[in-house]
Amino acid sequence: MSSMQSQPQTFLSRWAWLLFPLLAFGAVAATFGLLKYVGPKLPFILLGAVIAIGLLWILVSSLSPAKADRTCPECGEQGLERLDPNTTRGVVCSSCGYVDPDISAWYLAEDETLLEEIVLSERAQKRATSNSAESQDTTRKTTSAE
Ligand SMILES: [Zn+2]
């Protein structure tokens, strides 16, 4: 009884490798058939179709821009929020309390606020910390020289 149940599965797994070659040969045969039916204009029609699909993709992408994915990896709810409104790092889930301080919250910040303000304040903060580190170095040098 069990050998009867597993027989169709083994048949499929044994002949599954034939699927891609058959599809590839079928596509080649269909192309030759289409070439015979349409004529020598077929490459230009296909090139035009590919360019038209590309332009259509650009149009659709620009008319419906990407939205931030707020799905929580822990509970699956749409509850992800930024951990700190002053940075683009870290998320917290409002539904279950899941916290990831290292993940990028760039798309969430892009949805909610102006990124320029965050980037400029982070840059100023980085500059201030490097300047204070340099001033500490100079004070160390002066103290060691004395
Ligand atoms: Zn959650």
What is the domain partition of the chain in residue ranges? Answer: 2-63, 80-145
- Report the length, in residues, of the chain: 146
pLDDT of residue 73: 93
User: In angstroms, what is the span from residue 45 Cα to ligand 1's centroid?
Assistant: 50
Q: What's the whole-model pTM score?
A: 0.48
Can you count the helices (H) and strands (E) in the chain?
5, 3
Report residue 58's pLDDT band, with 50, 70 and 90 as the boundaries.
very high
Helix (H) or strand (E) holding 131: helix 115-145
The answer for residues whose C-beta is within 8 angstroms of residue 110's C-beta and 6 or more apart is 68
Q: Give me the chain's average pLDDT, please.
A: 85
Stretch 19-36: mean pLDDT: 94
Report residue 68's pLDDT band, with 50, 70 and 90 as the boundaries.
confident
Give, as residue ranges, everything with CB less than 5 Å from ion ligand 1: 72, 74-75, 93, 95-96, 98
